[in-house]
Chains A and B, each alone.
Chain A
Amino acid sequence: MKTKPFAAPYAVWMLLFTIVPIALVAAYSFTTADGALTLRNMANFLDPIYITVLLRSLGIALLCTLICLLVGYPAAYVLAQKDFDKKGVLVLLFVIPMWMNFLLRTYAWLTLLESNGLITSTVNRVIEFFGGQGNVRLLYNYGAVLMGMVYNYLPFMVLPLYTSLSRLDRRVVEAAEDLGANRSQVFLRVVFPLSVPGIFSGVTMVFMPAITTFVISRLLGGAQFKLFGDLIEQQFLFTGNWNFGSAMSLIMMVLLLLSMSIMNRYGDQEGGGIF
């Protein structure tokens, strides 16, 4: 087909609005405000203040991913069993929150956890019932942010796991049973290893947004609780140091691409996404 010129608008668009902006970020990260070349911005990031935030982000993202995996795997496993009736509806119920605006999901938690919220006031009433002082605060701390992340990203773990577990060849399981494996052996040596690609795509889909978020930490963690995403947002919208902000964005991108390539090395593409 002689259709090559058709790709011209696409090529121009991608060059202007994807390549050039990222090149600009790279250029800003290695220059000073006057435009001189420097490694200063990168070096500035090595300050303990920023390293602490980076490690906190990594830690909370990993913990969130782990919790999602531990909670989501059994759910996906049960859903994937073919004798589960009303399965279609239940799977759809896991899909709906994925399409829901994540601000709404975060806001929903905010209304439950704030000082007059349903959960907080219930907890406080229970404490008062037992004679304690009902002034527990559940918002604006590490737990609230972690909870908000798990709530936001759990469906992104369940769906890929469900896809990979329900594609699993039943005959392999039956063969293992015929050969005398008991239920835990079947799971540990057959089902689990075959679901590893699903685990990898689930982990990717939870970890990636978790490490870059600034909204969840801002709304549920308050002004004091900062994650990597908050630092970048702040540099651009408040401090106005584009050079340092760009350097941090570049570091975040490299970090993500690295973890992505590690994931791809161990899991293959069969995992199945959401589409």
Chain B
Amino acid sequence: MKSAGFFKRGYVYLVLAFLYMPILTLIVFSFNASKSRAVWGGFTLDWYRALFQNSEILNALYVTLAVALLAAVTATFIGTLGAIGMFSMKNGPKSLLLAAANLSMLTPDIVIGISLMILFLFANLPLGFGTMLLAHVSFNVPYVLFSVLPRLKQMNGSAYEAALDLGATHWQAIRKIVLPEIMPGILTGFILAFTLSLDDFVISFFTTSEVQNLSILVYSMARRGIHPTINALSTLMFVAIVALLLLVNRKSSILER
């Protein structure tokens, strides 16, 4: 067999067509002058213009980016320190700490969301930006932890001890030996946390009230009915995620080389 047959190739394209048809329709109709979802009424950028004049949408964009960035930075800090700390622990306490991370990753989003909502209301914290941020840090930390831990395992432990023998302080050895070694893991963890946070709907939905991120806004707009402005917003979000993905892909292939 020289190349994959016509039917095999056709099948893969068919599945891809199924995956992309709805998105492409959405994108095409975001440029449609007619409000109809089935008839083409000419090209327009009106819906994009409306998008950038809508303060609700701009505010949601700001909330999404701010929460994602702050949550990713905080989670990277906590998760990385946690991984370094855990690395020098005995198996007993270590597996206890790992179990907490596993529990968090295995819990369905909806349960994480409502359990945090209960906690915040129980503690009399008003739901809003702050509680959403706390929630995002919480679901991000395990992902950072599991990105950094494998790097620590690969690290040559004697390098750290050699640094100490050569007169480096404990802190210097960590900063100059350990951190550079695990940096790729920290970066992966950060990017993963940032993306997960950008993408989250369910946990945010339960841990905020008036403050909305883009996902919550799309949800509440979609429930009120379809509007071309959401098409325009969706198109921009789609383009952003593809750009981010291609960037990460290129970056990692450059690092590998």
Binding site for B on A (CB under 8 A): 1-11, 13-15, 17-22, 24-25, 28, 71-72, 74-75, 78-79, 81, 83-85, 90, 92-97, 99-112, 114, 116-118, 121-122, 151, 154-155, 158, 208-209, 212, 214-215, 218-219, 229, 232-233, 236, 242, 245-246, 249, 252-253, 256-257, 260, 275
Contact = CB atoms under 8 A, between A and B. Distances in A.
Interface residues of B, number: 87
A145 to B, nearest CB: 15
A158 B19 CA distance: 12
Given A103-B219, A108-B234, A219-B223, A78 B241 contact: no
Contact of A249 (B111, B198, B199, B202): B111
18 contacts: A1-B174, A3-B174, A4-B89, A5-B85, A7-B81, A10-B78, A13-B137, A17-B137, A103-B201, A104-B26, A107-B26, A108-B234, A122-B38, A209-B108, A214-B110, A215-B219, A249-B110, A249-B111
B12 A108 contact: no
A155 to B, nearest CB: 7
Nearest to B14: A75
Interface in B109-154: 109-112, 114-119, 122, 134-135, 137-138, 141, 145
Contact of B100 (A15, A108, A110, A275): A15
Given A7-B82, A252-B108, A78 B170 contact: no
Given A10-B85, A14-B97, A112-B21, 14 more contacts: A4-B85, A4-B88, A14-B141, A18-B103, A22-B107, A24-B122, A81-B4, A93-B20, A99-B199, A114-B37, A154-B19, A219-B219, A249-B114, A256-B108
B102 to A, nearest CB: 10
A96 B242 contact: yes
Contact of A103 (B2, B18, B135, B215): B215
Nearest to A255: B108
B145 A154 contact: no
Nearest to A27: B118
Given A18-B104, A219-B223, A253 B82 contact: no
A230 to B, nearest CB: 10
B230 to A, nearest CB: 7
A106 B82 CA distance: 37
B66 interface: no
B100 A19 contact: yes
Contacts of A11: 82, 97, 100
B110 A232 contact: yes
B65 interface: no
B128 to A, nearest CB: 16
Contact of B12 (A78, A109, A122): A78
A10 B25 contact: no
Nearest to A5: B85
B25 A108 contact: yes
B249 interface: yes
Nearest to B109: A212
Contacts of A3: 84-85, 87-88, 174
A139 to B, nearest CB: 11
9 shortest A-B CB distances, which residue pairs? A7-B85, A10-B82, A6-B85, A21-B115, A108-B22, A17-B138, A1-B88, A14-B100, A212-B108
Given A21-B115, A94-B16, A110-B222, A1 B202 contact: no
A117 B38 contact: yes
A14 B104 contact: yes
A101 B199 contact: yes
Contacts of B192: 275
B237 interface: yes
Contact of B170 (A2, A15, A109): A2
B84 A104 contact: no
A212 B79 CA distance: 27
A140 B222 CA distance: 14
Contacts of A100: 23, 237-238, 241
A107 B108 contact: no
Contacts of A218: 223
B166 interface: no
A93 to B, nearest CB: 6
Nearest to A154: B19
B226 interface: yes
Contacts of B117: 236
A101 B178 CA distance: 35
B208 interface: no
Contacts of B85: 3-8, 10
